[in-house]
Structure 1
Amino acid sequence: MSIDIKMPALSPTMEEGTLAKWLVKEGDTVKAGDLMAEIETDKATMEFEAVDEGVIAKIVVAEGTDGVKVGTVIAVLAGEGEDASSVAAPKAEAPKAAEAPKEEAKAAPAPAAAPAPASASAPAASGDRVKASPLARRIAAEKGVDLSSVSGSGPNGRIVKADVEGAKPGAAPAAPAAAPATAAPAAAAPAAAPASVWYDESIPHEEEKLSNIRKTIARRLTEAKQTIPHIYLTVDVQLDALLKLRGQLNKSLEGRGVKLSVNDMLIKALAVALAQVPKCNVTYAGDKLVKYNRSDISVAVSTPTGLITPIIRDAANIGLASISTQMKELAERAKEGKLKPEEYQGGTASISNMGMFGIKQFDAVINPPQAMILAVGAGEKRPYIVDDALGVATVMSATGSFDHRAVDGADGAELMKVFKALVESPMGLLA
């Protein structure tokens, strides 16, 4: 008996995803544990494993398909002794295609019941479905060009500026007249597009479709800046003592496959600082404040598909070698898109280090629902007061971004002071 393979829920909040890539093809034999597909959620691209044994009889959903709902049949597996070629695609696909008219009827029962105007409004509806850039639409309106009669030369047949400029006014007057006569929704359709997003089409360019991850990053960062009142506090931190201790520790760790990075030690310093200043280890939750009893540090890692923040759990109470080992493994799997949801969801505070790019100082955007993020710049030789005398020291700038609804400026300043002290006297990180 054939087995339906359905779109899995790869995280607690996942409702749909993109079937990014099939790792098998029709006719392949799979067994439990074999990798079948790569699925892109709103957080990461993850591999989907087979749980049954059999032959791939039908691939129902093509790779690259967006918005595949959890529970949708994406492939069919022929069972033991079953002829794969005789397996039919699931019947559930037909009702799915028929659902659109039902929703249309619910949303607008009156227009659905009036078939006569449909033919009259066809030209307007056709025009609304035409793929055209906002600039091309504006020029077409100014010149009186009917977009439905223009062939697009842009990506996927999209009508661009050059197509409209070369077009002659045709039946355009009839189209505008028909649009108001049919219904307001037809005229409103173009306005629903992101017309405010404009770019100069005369410049050679390419258009790249946003991944679910990039869409999520854009949405969350926009929400964070719009809804969270950020306050930024910066300190300069002398690194010489930490660099010396790091060298000594790495020498003692030779042969164990562990090499501490500066970032490993800064993760520990932030975690310990949060434990000492718990007023900053919080989440603003409307009418209440959530106070955490553990420092779980989310660490920003850049991947080919965007930024993701794997978490070092209870970082204040584990050793530097453990932080280093965990961080190396998590970063590698993050770049491969193989993190589990529990490895990047949660965290009580974040750290983002751009020192390796030579960035001196920056202000990071808070990662909600957390109430703070530490932005770390590059360590560099600077003139610095050492023992009341002007000298040269290795100094970095660190900026804390705090949710001012949850953290008062004085409490944020205390956290930054404690962090600075821990880095400048790093033996406290070994306690």
Structure 2
Amino acid sequence: MAEIVRMPKLSDTMTEGVVAEWHKKVGDTVSEGDLLADIETDKATMEFESFYDGVLLHIGVEKGAAAPVNDILAVIGEKGEDIESILNDAASETTQQEDKKVEESKPAKETSAPEPVTDTKPSTKETTTSVSTTGGRIFASPLAKSMAEEKGIDLAMVKGTGENNRIVKKDIENYTPGASVSPGSVITAGVESYRDEPLSQMRKAIARTLTASKFSAPHFYLKMEVDMDNAIAARKAINEDEGVKISFNDMVVKAVASALRKNPKVNADWIGDAIRYNDHIHIGVAVAVDEGLLVPVVKHTDTKGFAQIGAEIKELAQKARTKKIQPQEMEGGTFAISNLGMYGIEDFTSIINPPNGCILSVGQIKQTPVIKNGQIVPGNIMKLSLSCDHRVVDGAVGSAFLQDVKKLLENPVKMIV
């Protein structure tokens, strides 16, 4: 008997998914455990395996299209099996469930006619559009778009060979700079042009989460400068050992973890009707990806050394950038760090990643004149900025924590012994 495969809920906050790639087509034989499709969630693009054996009889969500969780993704059954009745039954069941939700949401006494329900499900055309240019839109598959971004290829310069001139994977693989250009992609001096790029699931989630954080959590900011001379010397000495390579970011993460153990009131979450003080220390480290920002979490950070922290961050960052990271690897953080020092940013503030009470922003190490023992000498200064939710952390508490982070970075040996 045919089995319905529904859009899975692949993360705790996922409400809809986008099919980034189908690995099977209608008529293909499918075995349990076979890779069926890549699903883009609000946190990452994940591989989705089949739970059934049989033949792929129906695809309910085309590549590049979005669908709510529990919508019909596909149907798997025996070759030649009639699936019209099962699809009709499933559609009828969905309609009944939606009607029930509407009825349940009505006030006890209805005095006016309910407003019509509008279908907000995006169309396939909208979700597969990558960019728009003067003269028309350019269509690209999510995989082609991702590959183009990784290789620094302007999609406007690529000729699509897919249906309706859609840019697909092979077009990016075969692209040669200077080759044929898509119609309407040439920028003409004095002519206004623009492009509209539909929001990815991740970008939508970022917008929702950070907007809610910025406008609900009363942020305040604490800033401090750190003398990094000793940290530079310590890192150089550590990295002289064969097979050991740590970064300044690894040292910052370790310092933060150690300071959180000493300042437990900073290692806290706002959960609405209470403040949750966490005994464990799980630090989220912001990683830039094509669609925006992911925050993988290093679990029990305070129990790990520089090298182990560095190895885990590198592995998680690679997973995030290649869309292989799992939701559980981004959950449970009790504190977050955002480091833009490698981009030449000296000083900035971050929006708190809820439900955390704080996030630390880390700038670049900059050589600058400093006064030591009454003399002006060259120094290496790094600026830190702590964003605090005033509902969770007060100024004195945040200041004490930041002072401990500073002491540890200025005396790294304290993090080793």
Q: Is TM-score (shorter-chain normalized) higher than 0.5?
A: yes
Q: Cα offset for 1:212?
A: 1.6
Q: Distance in 2 between matches of 1:40 and 1:401?
A: 30
The answer to whether residue 27 in structure 2 is matched with residue 27 in structure 1 is yes
Q: Does 1:323 align with 2:273?
A: no
Alpha-carbon deviation of 1:53? 3.1
1:379 counterpart SS class: strand
Tell me if the contact between 1:298 and 1:347 (Cα under 8 Å) persists in the aligned partners: yes
Tell me the distance in 1 between the aligned counterparts of 2:317 and 2:251.
Answer: 16
CA shift, 1:15, in A, is 3.6
Q: 2:346 aligns with which of 360, 364, 367?
A: 360
CA distance in 1, matches of 2:400, 2:81: 70
Q: Is the 1:239–1:423 contact (alpha carbons within 8 Å) kept by the matching residues of 2?
A: yes
In structure 1, the residue corresponding to 2:351 is in which secondary structure? coil
Bigger CA drift: 292-301 or 386-395? 386-395
Q: 2:281 maps to which residue?
A: 295
Match of 1:223 in 2: 212
Instruction: Report the counterpart of residue 92 of structure 2 in structure 1.
Output: 95
Gap change, CA 1:101 and 1:226, over 3 Å in 2: closer
Q: Aligned-pair RMSD on alpha carbons?
A: 2.8
**TM-score, with structure 2 as normaliser:** 0.75
1:242 corresponds, among 231, 237, 246, to 231
Give 1:141-220 correspondences, 5 Å limit: 203-220=192-209
What is the 5 A alignment of 1:105-116?
none
SS at match of 2:254: helix
Deviates more, 1:400-409 or 1:285-294: 285-294
Gaps of 5+ in 2: 119-134, 139-190
Question: Bigger CA drift: 325-334 or 20-29?
Answer: 20-29
Give the equivalent residue in structure 1 for 2:157.
none
- Which stretches in structure 1 are left out of the alignment for 5+ residues? 113-124, 126-152, 157-201
- Equivalent residue number for residue 405 of structure 1: 391
How has the CA–CA distance of structure 1 residues 97 and 418 changed in structure 2, closer, same or farther, with 3 Å as cutoff? closer
1: distance between equivalents of 2:23 and 2:49?
10
Is the 2:27–2:56 Cα contact (8 Å) retained in structure 1?
A: yes
Distance, in Å, in 1 between the alignment partners of 2:408 and 2:98 is 64
Counterpart residue number, 1:77: 76
Query: Which residue of 1 is the match for residue 325 of structure 2?
Result: 339
Contact between 1:19 and 1:68, CA under 8 Å: does it hold in 2? no
Q: What amino acid is aligned across from residue 342 of structure 1 in structure 2?
A: Q
2 CA distance for matches of 1:337 and 1:4?
Answer: 26
Secondary structure, counterpart of 1:322 in structure 2: helix
Greater Rg, structure 1 or structure 2? 1
> Quick check: 2:42–2:201 contact (8 Å CA) kept in 1?
yes
**Counterparts in 2 of 1:101 and 1:230: CA distance versus 1, 3 Å:** closer
Partner SS, residue 377 of structure 1: strand
Distance in 2, matches of 1:21 and 1:427, equals 49
Deviation at 1:361, TM superposition (A): 0.3
For 1:334, the aligned partner's letter is A
TM-superposed CA distance for 1:42, in Å, is 2.1
Q: Deviations over 1:96-143 (max 9, x none)?
A: 68669968996899879xxxxxxxxxxxx9xxxxxxxxxxxxxxxxxx
The 8 Å contact of residues 57 and 87 in structure 1, kept in 2 or not, is answered as no
**Structure 2 equivalent of residue 2 of structure 1:** 2
Paired residue secondary structure (1:361): coil
State the match for 2:46 in structure 1: 46
Alignment partners' CA distance in 1, 2:96 and 2:273 = 41
> Are the structure 2 counterparts of residues 357 and 97 from structure 1 closer, same or farther at C-alpha, using a change threshold of 3 Å?
same
Deviation of 1:336 after TM superposition, in Å, equals 1.7
Larger proportion of helix: 1
356, 367, 370: which one aligns with 1:381: 367
The amino acid that maps onto 1:95 is S
SS at match of 2:48: strand
Distance between the aligned counterparts of 1:429 and 1:321, measured in 2?
Answer: 12
Distance 2:287 2:300 in 1: 19
CA distance in 1, matches of 2:112, 2:394: 56
TM-score by length of 1: 0.72
Amino acid at match of 2:61: V
1:306: Cα distance to partner? 1.5
| Structure 1 Cα separation of the partners of residues 60 and 273 of structure 2 | 47
Q: Secondary structure at the match of 1:225?
A: helix
Identity of aligned residues (%): 39
State the secondary structure of the residue aligned to 2:214: helix
